[in-house]
Amino acid sequence: MPALRVGMVGYAFMGAAHSHAWHTAPRFFDLPLRPEPAVLCGRSEPSVRTAAEKLGWADWETDWKRLVARDDIDVIDICTPGDTHAEIAVAALDAGKHVLCEKPLANSVDEAELMAAAAERAAARGVRAAVGFNYRRLPALALARRLIAQGRLGTLHHVRAQYLQDWLVDPDFPLTWRLRREKAGSGALGDLGAHAVDLAQYLTGQQITGVSALLETLVPERPLPDAASGLSATGAGTARGRVTVDDAAAFTARFAGGAIGVFEATRFATGRKNALRIEVNGSLGSLAFDLESLNELAFYDRAEDPDTAAFRTILVTEPNHPYMSAWWPAGHLIGYEHSFTHQVKDFTEAIAAGEQPSPSFADGLRVQRVLDAVAASAADRSVWTTVPIDH
Amino acid sequence: MPALRVGMVGYAFMGAAHSHAWHTAPRFFDLPLRPEPAVLCGRSEPSVRTAAEKLGWADWETDWKRLVARDDIDVIDICTPGDTHAEIAVAALDAGKHVLCEKPLANSVDEAELMAAAAERAAARGVRAAVGFNYRRLPALALARRLIAQGRLGTLHHVRAQYLQDWLVDPDFPLTWRLRREKAGSGALGDLGAHAVDLAQYLTGQQITGVSALLETLVPERPLPDAASGLSATGAGTARGRVTVDDAAAFTARFAGGAIGVFEATRFATGRKNALRIEVNGSLGSLAFDLESLNELAFYDRAEDPDTAAFRTILVTEPNHPYMSAWWPAGHLIGYEHSFTHQVKDFTEAIAAGEQPSPSFADGLRVQRVLDAVAASAADRSVWTTVPIDH
Amino acid sequence: MPALRVGMVGYAFMGAAHSHAWHTAPRFFDLPLRPEPAVLCGRSEPSVRTAAEKLGWADWETDWKRLVARDDIDVIDICTPGDTHAEIAVAALDAGKHVLCEKPLANSVDEAELMAAAAERAAARGVRAAVGFNYRRLPALALARRLIAQGRLGTLHHVRAQYLQDWLVDPDFPLTWRLRREKAGSGALGDLGAHAVDLAQYLTGQQITGVSALLETLVPERPLPDAASGLSATGAGTARGRVTVDDAAAFTARFAGGAIGVFEATRFATGRKNALRIEVNGSLGSLAFDLESLNELAFYDRAEDPDTAAFRTILVTEPNHPYMSAWWPAGHLIGYEHSFTHQVKDFTEAIAAGEQPSPSFADGLRVQRVLDAVAASAADRSVWTTVPIDH
Amino acid sequence: MPALRVGMVGYAFMGAAHSHAWHTAPRFFDLPLRPEPAVLCGRSEPSVRTAAEKLGWADWETDWKRLVARDDIDVIDICTPGDTHAEIAVAALDAGKHVLCEKPLANSVDEAELMAAAAERAAARGVRAAVGFNYRRLPALALARRLIAQGRLGTLHHVRAQYLQDWLVDPDFPLTWRLRREKAGSGALGDLGAHAVDLAQYLTGQQITGVSALLETLVPERPLPDAASGLSATGAGTARGRVTVDDAAAFTARFAGGAIGVFEATRFATGRKNALRIEVNGSLGSLAFDLESLNELAFYDRAEDPDTAAFRTILVTEPNHPYMSAWWPAGHLIGYEHSFTHQVKDFTEAIAAGEQPSPSFADGLRVQRVLDAVAASAADRSVWTTVPIDH
Chains sharing 3 or more CB pairs under 8 A with chain A: B, C, D
Residue A153 distance to chain C (closest CA, Å): 13
Q: Can you give the pLDDT at residue C204? A: 98
B227 pLDDT above the threshold of 70: no
d(CA D124, CA D130): 15
Residue of D nearest to B330 (CA): D306
Residue A111 distance to chain D (closest CA, Å): 29
With contacts defined as CB-CB under 8 Å, which chain A residues touch C324? none
Do the chains contact at B272 and C331, CB–CB below 8 Å?
yes
With contacts defined as CB-CB under 8 Å, which chain D residues touch C165? none
Report the pLDDT averaged over residues B363-373: 97
Give B162 or D233, the one with higher predicted confidence.
B162
Band (pLDDT 50/70/90 cuts) for residue D277 is very high
**C138-358+367-385 matches C3-135 in CATH topology:** no
Identify which of C272, C269, C268, C215 has the alpha carbon closest to the alpha carbon of residue C244.
C215
d(CA D114, CA D361): 10
With contacts defined as CB-CB under 8 Å, which chain A residues touch B283? 169, 171, 270
With contacts defined as CB-CB under 8 Å, which chain C residues touch D384? 381-383
With contacts defined as CB-CB under 8 Å, which chain B residues touch C335? 332-335, 338
B237 pLDDT above the threshold of 70: no
Report the pLDDT averaged over residues D275-284: 98
Chains sharing 3 or more CB pairs under 8 A with chain D: A, B, C
Contact D207, D255 (CB under 8 A): yes
Q: Can you give the pLDDT at residue D73? A: 98
Of the candidates C56, C232, C317, the beta carbon closest to that of B273 is on C317
Residue D376 distance to chain A (closest CA, Å): 31
Do the chains contact at B335 and C332, CB–CB below 8 Å?
yes
B229 pLDDT above the threshold of 80: no
User: Taking an 8 Å Cβ-Cβ cutoff, which residues of chain C contact chain D?
Assistant: 153, 157-158, 160, 162, 166, 169, 171, 212-214, 216, 218, 248, 250-252, 254, 258, 260, 262, 264, 266, 268-272, 279, 281-286, 300, 302, 309-311, 381-384
- Cα torsion B52, B57, B63, B69 to 10°: value is 170
With contacts defined as CB-CB under 8 Å, which chain C residues touch B337? 328
Report the pLDDT averaged over residues A203-229: 91
Residue C75 phi, psi (nearest 5)? -130, 135
With contacts defined as CB-CB under 8 Å, which chain B residues touch D308? 147, 299, 301, 312, 314
d(CA B287, CA D136): 33
Q: Can you give the pLDDT at residue D234? A: 54
Which residues lie closer than 8 Å to A46 by C-beta, 6 or more apart?
A: none
Do the chains contact at C315 and B273, CB–CB below 8 Å?
yes
Of the candidates A147, A307, A314, the beta carbon closest to that of C310 is on A314
Strands D285-290 and D275-282, by their bridges, are antiparallel
Report the pLDDT averaged over residues C181-199: 95
With contacts defined as CB-CB under 8 Å, which chain A residues touch C307? 143, 146-147, 314, 318, 320-321
d(CA A281, CA A257): 13
Burial class (CB in 10 A: 0-12, 13-18, 19+), B127: buried
Identify the H or E element spanning B248.
Answer: strand B248-255
Q: What is the mean pLDDT of chain B?
A: 95
Report the pLDDT averaged over residues D297-317: 97
CA atoms within 13 A on the CB side of B336: 22
Q: Can you give the pLDDT at residue B37? A: 97
With contacts defined as CB-CB under 8 Å, which chain C residues touch B332? 274, 335-336
Q: Which amino acid is at D234?
A: T
Report the pLDDT averaged over residues D323-346: 98
D361 pLDDT above the threshold of 80: yes
Residue D240's CB is within 10 A of a number of other CB atoms, namely 15
User: Taking an 8 Å Cβ-Cβ cutoff, which residues of chain C contact chain B?
Assistant: 13, 16-17, 19-20, 23-24, 27-28, 54-56, 165, 167, 231-232, 272-275, 291-295, 315, 317, 328-338
Between CA A11 and CA D32, with CA D17 as vertex, the angle to 5 degrees is 55
Q: Can you give the pLDDT at residue A228? A: 46
Report the pLDDT averaged over residues C155-159: 98
C236 pLDDT above the threshold of 70: no
User: Taking an 8 Å Cβ-Cβ cutoff, which residues of chain A contact chain D?
Assistant: 13, 16-17, 19-20, 23-24, 27-28, 54-56, 165, 167, 231-232, 272-275, 291-295, 315, 317, 328-338
Of the candidates D307, D314, D321, the beta carbon closest to that of B143 is on D307
A·C CB contacts under 8 A: 50
The angle, 0 to 180 degrees and rounded to 10, between the axes of the packed helices C338-353 and C13-28 is 60
Band (pLDDT 50/70/90 cuts) for residue A234 is low
d(CA A362, CA A213): 23
Of the candidates A147, A306, A315, the beta carbon closest to that of C320 is on A306
Mutate to test the interface with D, among C212, C218, C297 (most CBs of D within 10 A): C212
Do the chains contact at B310 and D309, CB–CB below 8 Å?
no
Residue B382 distance to chain A (closest CA, Å): 5
Q: How far is CA C81 from the centre of its chain?
A: 13
Residue of B nearest to D331 (CA): B310
Q: Of all residues in chain D, what percent carry a pLDDT higher than 70?
A: 97
pLDDT in tens, D74-110: 999 999 999 999 999 999 999 999 999 999 999 999 9
Q: Can you give the pLDDT at residue C234? A: 54
Q: Can you give the pLDDT at residue B349? A: 98
Chains sharing 3 or more CB pairs under 8 A with chain B: A, C, D
Strand, coil or helix: what is A31?
A: coil
Does domain D3-135 fall under CATH 3.90.650.10? My reply is: no
Sign for the CA dihedral angle at D151, D152, D154, D157 comes to: negative
Report the pLDDT averaged over residues B183-202: 96
A251 pLDDT above the threshold of 80: yes
d(CA C352, CA C183): 34
The angle, 0 to 180 degrees and rounded to 10, between the axes of the packed helices C13-28 and C45-55 is 30
Residue D311 distance to chain B (closest CA, Å): 5
Band (pLDDT 50/70/90 cuts) for residue B232 is low
Where are the extended beta strands (E) located within chain C? 3-9, 34-41, 59-61, 75-78, 98-102, 129-132, 156-164, 208-216, 221-223, 240-242, 248-255, 260-266, 275-282, 285-290, 296-301, 311-315, 385-386
Q: Can you give the pLDDT at residue B228? A: 46
d(CA C39, CA D266): 53
A131 pairs with which residues across the strands?
A101
Do the chains contact at C24 and B19, CB–CB below 8 Å?
no
Of the candidates D301, D313, D320, the beta carbon closest to that of B311 is on D313
pLDDT in tens, A10-22: 998 999 999 999 9
Residue of A nearest to C300 (CA): A312
Of the candidates A214, A272, A282, the beta carbon closest to that of B212 is on A214
Residue of A nearest to B310 (CA): A271
d(CA C26, CA C35): 7
Contact C191, C184 (CB under 8 A): yes
d(CA A373, CA A377): 6
Of the candidates C268, C282, C381, the beta carbon closest to that of D157 is on C268
With contacts defined as CB-CB under 8 Å, which chain A residues touch C308? 147, 299, 301, 312, 314
pLDDT in tens, B31-40: 999 999 999 9
Q: Can you give the pLDDT at residue A390? A: 83
Contact A104, A97 (CB under 8 A): no
Does domain A3-134 fall under CATH 3.40.50.720? My reply is: yes
**Domain range annotation of chain B:** 3-135, 138-358+367-385
DSSP class of C207: -
Residue A113 distance to chain D (closest CA, Å): 31
Band (pLDDT 50/70/90 cuts) for residue A231 is low
Report the pLDDT averaged over residues C180-186: 91
Mutate to test the interface with C, among D166, D260, D263, D385 (most CBs of C within 10 A): D260
pLDDT in tens, C10-49: 998 999 999 999 999 999 999 999 999 999 999 999 999 9
Between CA C198 and CA C208, with CA C203 as vertex, the angle to 5 degrees is 55
pLDDT in tens, A140-173: 999 999 999 999 999 999 999 999 999 999 999 9
Which residues lie closer than 8 Å to B118 by C-beta, 6 or more apart?
A: B89, B90, B93, B94, B129, B361
B·D CB contacts under 8 A: 50
Q: Of all residues in chain A, what percent carry a pLDDT higher than 70?
A: 97
- Any long-range contacts for B40-45 (C-beta under 8 Å, 24+ apart)? B40/B7, B40/B8, B40/B11, B40/B15, B41/B7, B41/B8, B41/B9, B41/B10, B41/B67, B42/B9, B42/B10, B42/B11
Strands D129-132 and D98-102, by their bridges, are parallel
Q: Looking at the domain D138-358+367-385, which fold is it?
A: Dihydrodipicolinate Reductase; domain 2 (3.30.360)
* Candidate from C279-288, D232-241, D325-334 with smallest mean pLDDT: D232-241
C221 pairs with which residues across the strands?
C242
For B253, B297, C375, the CA distances from B261, given in Å and listed in that order, are 5, 19, 59
Band (pLDDT 50/70/90 cuts) for residue B238 is confident
Report the pLDDT averaged over residues B109-120: 97
Q: What is the ipTM of this complex?
A: 0.96
d(CA C361, CA C115): 7
CATH top-level class for A139-351+366-385? Answer: alpha beta
pLDDT in tens, A97-132: 999 999 999 999 999 999 999 999 999 999 999 999
Band (pLDDT 50/70/90 cuts) for residue C391 is confident
Q: Which amino acid is at C77?
A: D
d(CA B330, CA B322): 13
pLDDT in tens, B130-160: 999 999 999 999 999 999 999 999 999 999 9
pLDDT in tens, B46-64: 999 999 999 999 999 999 9
Band (pLDDT 50/70/90 cuts) for residue D227 is low
d(CA C12, CA C19): 10
Mutate to test the interface with B, among D312, D317, D323, D325 (most CBs of B within 10 A): D312
Report the pLDDT averaged over residues C295-322: 98
Contact C166, B315 (CB under 8 A): no
Residue of A nearest to B259 (CA): A218
Q: Of all residues in chain C, what percent carry a pLDDT higher than 90?
A: 93
d(CA B105, CA B359): 11
DSSP3 helix / strand / coil % (chain D, rounded to 5): 35, 25, 40
Q: Can you give the pLDDT at residue D228? A: 46
pLDDT in tens, A169-181: 999 999 999 999 9
Report the pLDDT averaged over residues B170-189: 93
Sheet holding A98-101, edge to edge: A59-61, A34-41, A3-9, A75-78, A98-101, A129-131
Contact B82, B104 (CB under 8 A): yes
